[in-house]
Structure 1
Amino acid sequence: MRSSALLSAILFALATPAFAETALETEADAKVETGASAEAAATPDGSGEQPLEQIQVTATRAARSNFDVAAAVSVVGEDEIREKTVITIADYLRAQPGAFIQSTTPGQAIPIIRGLKGSEVLHMVDGFRMNTAFFRNSPNQYFALADAQNVQQIELVRGAQSSLYGSDAMGGVVQILTPEERFQGDSWDGRGRFKAQYSSGDLSSLGRIAGAVGKDGISFSGGITVQDVGLRKLGDDGQRVPYTEFSSWAADAKLLWSPTPGHELMLSAAYLKQPKTPRVDELITSFHQTRPNSVEFYFQPQDRLFVQARYVIEQDGGWFDRAEFHAGYQKINDDRRSREFGTANRELEENSSTLRGVTATFNKEVGNHAFVYGAEAYYDTIDSFRQRLNLNTNVVSARPPRFPDGSTMDSYALFVNDSITLGSQWQLDLGARYSSFDIELSPNAAGTGVKLSPDDFTGNAGLTFKATDTVHVVGNVGRGFRAPNIFDLGVFGSRPSNRWAVPNTDLKPETVITYDLGLKWDNPGWQAEAFVWKSDYKDKITSVETGELTDSGAIIVTNRNVTELDLWGVEAGARWYLSEESQFYGVLNYTRGDETYAGDTYDADRVPPLSGRLGWLQKLSPVLELDVNALYAARQDRLSPRDLTDPRVNPEGTAGWNTWNARLSYEFAPASTLALHLDNIADRRYREHGSGLDEMGRSASVVLDWNF
């Protein structure tokens, strides 16, 4: 059965390779910050209009066509973003080439990229790192703290990208680009957007109001989003699951000002808060459990504040053609309230990361060379506090914090990338980066602290062969790394299962080398990509027993660089424009992984199953559109030892599934739609591998998206 599934995956990859099925860029000369797109409007047949070009910025730190870069890139553009109903921002990447979504709770989700997750993937917003020093290399909640309604484009670069982006960019880079409103003419003008959405499957409602005013050279924009999610209804029996409700609200503002030609200043601020989000898998009975782990477990609250300034200079001549400077501030609060069964002790936590960063990036073309070079520095401070409230006595007592309070992680880097045109058919991309870290963990109550100063030198190479004007063959090899962070170093003392954790001051960065080979097609009637890839992951940080015991008999454990992973897979999909009114699209992803520790080899942790989607988009009239699609995943019974003990994972394996879905959209005014979404029409009950609860059953959503 597995061999037939694998054969199907490979055949599909060769026949209909991967396409980052996205709204296509409306402006071929878009700046780095834009990403406006119009896939739905560009649906030509073989003799009609050429689909508009996809412009990405993440793979090269420069605005270039996706077709012309060697890297594997998935782009979710503006039109596709408007077409989806999502709970968190990770949902936009569901069934995109190279991505699989894991959600422990409805309010929190992460993308798994080429088998890697959490701090093994770099998350960014408008060119600024979102990853903090307490990101863990497993599912976490922080990516959901970016507003899913304040997005213009999402770019996913698959494979090691540490040369341009440094630590954590081992599985890839996910970058969110937020809207930037620009105006023309000397008179002030304005535009606005109102969105309202209601879904029956989780009784959720959403509203956003946004607007912008400006003229040539200056604009002000902003918006407010409010979201309320109720109890999730499962498939088959219509049961609603407790502890699945949460709410959030967000606000954002942005100024764009061009003081002189070729210069632009951007100032932006964004804030999102989830006041109280249950951790569902801790509060409901799941696999191999007779009762839940906790009677209370809430992220209460979770919020993120992000403020950034960017200055861009474009000029002719000199030592750069374009310079871009960023200075940013991000604060993430991770507060928690929990209580285990059989105790009156409520644990109250306050954890925060304050991340400050500056970057400078320069672009310069010299002859057949296109250089990108620059420097960056980030400074992260972790504050952590915990106390215990006894509900019987109301006595409050101090507890050791989750992380050593006041710990810091600073990083500095220099990087360069050169795209070299070698004749009319060949292009070579070379990159290199040097990174240095200063990591200091304050001594805990026992006087235990850590100081580390690791550094790393990494590089990458990509080669593009332009076989024809419409077919490119690309290959890449890149080395990625992840420096040990506060999460890896900062968990000391008593641990579950009679363990006692001690720090390891000899931890070094994890490393990965990724190879991929791909084909890219860009024909008038269809667009596609196909990649096969392999990753060799070394020095993975893992908790191991030291062979010693404490005086009280607890097993002493510590983190060490001891585990190796062998990962490989296929990413495939395509969009075929049958006519100006009709399109067919498909995506397929397959990942396989093995882990080795102390001479034993076993299935790797949390590896996604064969999955993807197939769909048909039909223009019924100039203003009426129908999209019918199916999401699917094969059975996944290749489970790691950790999966076998995780209550989120069925120890017998996660069953395969498929859902049928439809969207009927009416464009009642330019760029304004009223849409009906029908999801999981067959009302199947299923679970995405590794997620904390079953997915939603049959659901109907009504969405009003009015631009004025």
Structure 2
Amino acid sequence: MRKIAIALLANVAGLWVHAQETVSDSALKELSEVVISASKFPEKKLNVAQRIDVISSKYISRVNAQNTGDLLINTGNVFVQKSQQGGSSPVIRGFEASRVLLVVDGVRLNNLIYRSGHLQNAITVDQNMLSSMEVLYGPASTIYGSDALGGVVHFRTKDPVLSTNNTTLVKGSGFARYSSANNEKTIHEDINLGWKKFAWLQSYTYSDFGDMKMGANYPSAYPTFGRRDSFVTRMNGIDTVLKNANPQVQKFSGYKQWDILQKLLFKQSDNVTHILNVQYSNTTNVPRYDRLQDKRNGTLRFAEWYYGPQERLLTAYELRIAKAGRFDNINLNLNYQEIEESRYTRDYRRYDRLDGRVENVNVAGFVLDSRKIWNNNELTIGIDGQYNTLQSTASRVNINTGASTKLDTRYPNGKNNQLNAGLFAQHVHKFKNKKLMLNDGLRVQTSRLLSTITDNSFFNLPFTKIEQKNTTVTGNVGLVYLPASGSKLSVNIASGFRAPNVDDLAKIFESSTAARQVVVPNNNIKPERTYNIDLGISQNIGKNIRIEASTFYTWFRNALVKAPYRLNGQDSILYNGVLSQVLANSNANKAYLFGVSGAVYATVANYITFSSQINFTRGRFQTDNTKNSSVYEKQANGSYALVSKKVSSKPLDHIPPVFGKTSISYQKEKLFAEIFALYNGWKKLDQYNADGEDNAQYATADGMPGWVTFNLRTSYSFKPVTLQFSIENIFDRNYRYFASGFSAPGRNFILAVRVEF
């Protein structure tokens, strides 16, 4: 804790942050960078009331992260949960998974099976082909519709580049990277061919991640925390528990992934551009590492638990028109996605039941945006829609005989579809004094869902059809005040919503093996709503220091939480051969979240810059204090136990502990070097949500310990080659991120060679 306190003090007491500029850029310059996510069209960050981070391609390559989750961690402003190496679930302002909207090139990635737990879908976007990544903090439903409760992560891939003369433009890049902690081997190449009117861009990335090795420097009070002492393997066809020769190696956490991107650009005229965008991502089987640690009757429960290949295919056509009649800009995007996800589980020595559940999702969508600029006004008007379909199948296979039998599906086994359609307007007015700007907007959205159960023999649910129709109105209004050069004050009020999807309404799954809980459908839930207020300030102090600060408060209504439920009059049922408590999604009456963030940026000396940021979030939902609620309570021996007691409120799940980053960097000509610390505070067990997704079973008896890691990152360029060398977690600290069942890398040496031509 002393190390964490020292790191936090480096933030400078009382400085609470607004939007950061990435360390790779000058944080002291005017907030003039262009952002697109906030209004769909280019707009200066200076004019936007909502808090936004802009992460540049230069910073992305400098961080040299394994995936987009690790890239977000390195900003110091986004918390990321991990259940396995092949996963990264961003948390923004205490909202996670289906309550955070993921967007790539203007296309929503969230679909009708995005769950409220932890998602790994963010890693299907190749960070090596991003021109930028924008993070919007707080509700963004006016622009993006459902799911943008906590914020938006918008990935923008690079566009093909045209030639400016009669010569064919040939340019490209590539790199090879090795990481020691997981024996990672990644190669990447991209090439751009450009002519006067046509340009073609193609890229490939392949990664081979071995088993991750955790740190050997354990917290003094928890000398065996996270150790992988044993594992299950098959020997002569028999499941056998073996002792792990090196308990720091997280056996069966490795996997492989490949990403392909192709873009074709045709510039019809100076004002009309067409782009065809194809993206493909796939993996090998991805072991669900946290579940491979679960025990039953003192023995490892699962012989196998893995996600099947996670496949994502996106095809999109984009039309960009400038000066189109009365509009200054019109953009049209027509897109189609195919997603396949699957889960395979087999209990120890149950050769007769390899259970496989496969989900095939198809999404057709469109987005039509237009912008009109007149006098001191900018008006964006848009309409968008997505039609989701799902086919859910399941089977149980005897691995010895190959015989296959029926199995209950994760989602209803009949028709599953959801239609979302919305109309919005976003407006910016710049007052004549050029010091005051108004942001305001409004959206009307409708959502329709149908889910049917063809075979109801497994659970005999009291219904076989779920239908929902919801119409929601959301809006935002904000003011930006620029009292002087280098100063910005902002206030923003916004509402957000999330329409229930098939995962919310109809899923059946095992919530916790430790507590023996199963979640069943509940067709009587409403859309979640948030109402949020933000206050922000950024200020230059002289020529060398900049401070930024923000605070927010969110009223969360109809919050979906897992609560005790009765199925056919029973509070427990047999599931996977175990008597399990029945839970179901229910709308909690009220919940609230608030938080503060802070940062300081400074030029310390020639070529040396300093930056530091810190983030604090808290959230609770109110309960009926006449009823019992599940909470963790400290016992006389100092440990915590799951109990039921009458309480008026309890913690929301997904709320991260205090976290941040402090960095000192040096850059002169060809050489760059950075020393930085990443840190998380304690998450005590009494602040865990006992019925949610906080995964107390993967923490210590007291919760998740705080930690700090020290890291070194360097690069040297001699065109066209750049050499990169990093040491992460220099002191080999053993730690986990809150709610994670997978330990972070120990001391990790990373070497990369990049080439541009």
Alignment of 1:123 with 2:139, yes or no, is no
Aligned pairs for 1:236-635 (under 5 A) are 236=216, 239-285=248-294, 290-315=298-323, 318-341=325-348, 343-344=350-351, 345-405=353-413, 406-424=415-433, 425-446=435-456, 448-491=464-507, 503-521=521-539, 525-546=544-565, 549-550=568-569, 554=573, 558-599=584-625, 600-619=648-667, 621-635=668-682
Q: How many residues align?
A: 682
498-507 or 67-76: bigger deviation: 498-507
- The alignment partner of 2:291 has SS state of helix
- Do the aligned residues in 1 keep the contact of 2:76 with 2:659 (CA within 8 Å)? no
* Cα displacement (A) at 1:635: 1.2
- In structure 2, relative to structure 1, the CA distance for the partners of 1:644 and 1:121 (3 Å cut) is closer
Q: Which residue in 1 is equivalent to 2:57? A: 78
* Cα displacement (A) at 1:342: 5.2
Q: Which residue in 2 is equivalent to 1:172? A: 151
* Cα displacement (A) at 1:67: 2.4
What is the CA–CA distance in structure 1 between the aligned matches of 2:710 and 2:328, rounded to whole Å? Answer: 49
What is the CA–CA distance in structure 2 between the aligned matches of 1:291 and 1:6, rounded to whole Å? Answer: 42
What is the CA–CA distance in structure 2 between the aligned matches of 1:391 and 1:145, rounded to whole Å? Answer: 30
User: Which structure 2 residue ranges, 5 or more long, are not aligned?
Assistant: 218-245, 457-462, 574-580, 626-647
1:418-469 deviation digits (Å, cap 9, x = unpaired): 1112332211111100000110002231271111111101111111111112
The aligned amino acid for 2:553 is K
Q: Which residue in 1 is equivalent to 2:192? A: 212
- The alignment partner of 2:37 has SS state of coil
Give the percent of matched residue pairs that are identical in Structure 1 and Structure 2: 24
- The alignment partner of 2:724 has SS state of strand
* Cα displacement (A) at 1:577: 2.7
What is the CA–CA distance in structure 2 between the aligned matches of 1:154 and 1:215, rounded to whole Å? Answer: 27
1:225-284 deviation digits (Å, cap 9, x = unpaired): 100011211212672110111111111100111101111111110111111110000112
Q: Which residue in 2 is equivalent to 1:153? A: 132
The aligned amino acid for 1:613 is K
* Cα displacement (A) at 1:298: 1.0
- In structure 2, relative to structure 1, the CA distance for the partners of 1:545 and 1:208 (3 Å cut) is same
* Cα displacement (A) at 1:482: 0.5
- The alignment partner of 1:333 has SS state of strand
What is the CA–CA distance in structure 2 between the aligned matches of 1:495 and 1:656, rounded to whole Å? Answer: 26
95-104 or 564-573: bigger deviation: 95-104
- In structure 2, relative to structure 1, the CA distance for the partners of 1:290 and 1:551 (3 Å cut) is closer
The aligned amino acid for 1:511 is R
What is the CA–CA distance in structure 2 between the aligned matches of 1:201 and 1:495, rounded to whole Å? Answer: 31
- The alignment partner of 2:46 has SS state of helix
What is the CA–CA distance in structure 2 between the aligned matches of 1:655 and 1:193, rounded to whole Å? Answer: 41
* Cα displacement (A) at 1:645: 5.8
- The alignment partner of 1:640 has SS state of coil
* Cα displacement (A) at 1:5: 7.4
1:148-201 deviation digits (Å, cap 9, x = unpaired): 322221100000111111100000000000011323223211101011100111
- The alignment partner of 2:703 has SS state of coil
- In structure 2, relative to structure 1, the CA distance for the partners of 1:5 and 1:72 (3 Å cut) is farther
1:387-445 deviation digits (Å, cap 9, x = unpaired): 00123543210112111243001111000011112332211111100000110002231
1:480-523 deviation digits (Å, cap 9, x = unpaired): 10000010112259998888866444322100111110012367
What is the CA–CA distance in structure 2 between the aligned matches of 1:295 and 1:450, rounded to whole Å? Answer: 35
* Cα displacement (A) at 1:553: 7.1
- In structure 2, relative to structure 1, the CA distance for the partners of 1:547 and 1:539 (3 Å cut) is same
Q: Which residue in 2 is equivalent to 1:34? A: none
State the superposition RMSD in angstroms: 2.8
* Cα displacement (A) at 1:557: 5.2
Q: Which residue in 2 is equivalent to 1:93? A: 72
* Cα displacement (A) at 1:43: 8.6
- Do the aligned residues in 2 keep the contact of 1:386 with 1:400 (CA within 8 Å)? yes
What is the CA–CA distance in structure 2 between the aligned matches of 1:365 and 1:389, rounded to whole Å? Answer: 62
- The alignment partner of 1:578 has SS state of strand
The aligned amino acid for 2:445 is S
1:109-133 deviation digits (Å, cap 9, x = unpaired): 0110000000000000000000010
497-506 or 174-183: bigger deviation: 497-506
- Do the aligned residues in 2 keep the contact of 1:223 with 1:253 (CA within 8 Å)? yes
What is the CA–CA distance in structure 2 between the aligned matches of 1:108 and 1:120, rounded to whole Å? Answer: 17
- In structure 2, relative to structure 1, the CA distance for the partners of 1:306 and 1:645 (3 Å cut) is closer
Query: With structure 2 as the length reference, what TM-score do the two structures score?
Result: 0.85
- In structure 2, relative to structure 1, the CA distance for the partners of 1:429 and 1:562 (3 Å cut) is same
User: Which structure 1 residue ranges, 5 or more long, are not aligned?
Assistant: 24-38, 45-49
- The alignment partner of 1:301 has SS state of coil
* Cα displacement (A) at 1:527: 4.5
Q: Which residue in 2 is equivalent to 1:230? A: 210
What is the CA–CA distance in structure 1 between the aligned matches of 2:407 and 2:98, rounded to whole Å? Answer: 27
* Cα displacement (A) at 1:687: 1.2
Alignment of 1:17 with 2:43, yes or no, is no
215-224 or 427-436: bigger deviation: 215-224
1:578-598 deviation digits (Å, cap 9, x = unpaired): 355111111111111112232
- The alignment partner of 2:116 has SS state of coil
1:605-636 deviation digits (Å, cap 9, x = unpaired): 131111111111112x4211211111111111
What is the CA–CA distance in structure 2 between the aligned matches of 1:43 and 1:396, rounded to whole Å? Answer: 60
The aligned amino acid for 2:21 is E
361-370 or 120-129: bigger deviation: 361-370
- The alignment partner of 1:489 has SS state of helix
- In structure 2, relative to structure 1, the CA distance for the partners of 1:91 and 1:556 (3 Å cut) is closer
1:551-604 deviation digits (Å, cap 9, x = unpaired): 897476543222532111112223323355111111111111112232331122
1:323-365 deviation digits (Å, cap 9, x = unpaired): 0000111111102221123533110121121111001001111
What is the CA–CA distance in structure 1 between the aligned matches of 2:624 and 2:7, rounded to whole Å? Answer: 32
- In structure 2, relative to structure 1, the CA distance for the partners of 1:573 and 1:218 (3 Å cut) is farther
- Do the aligned residues in 1 keep the contact of 2:695 with 2:740 (CA within 8 Å)? no
The aligned amino acid for 1:15 is L
Q: Which residue in 2 is equivalent to 1:47? A: none
- Do the aligned residues in 1 keep the contact of 2:653 with 2:694 (CA within 8 Å)? no
- The alignment partner of 1:149 has SS state of helix
Q: Which residue in 2 is equivalent to 1:668? A: 718
Alignment of 1:704 with 2:712, yes or no, is no
What is the CA–CA distance in structure 2 between the aligned matches of 1:272 and 1:368, rounded to whole Å? Answer: 43
- Do the aligned residues in 1 keep the contact of 2:696 with 2:703 (CA within 8 Å)? no
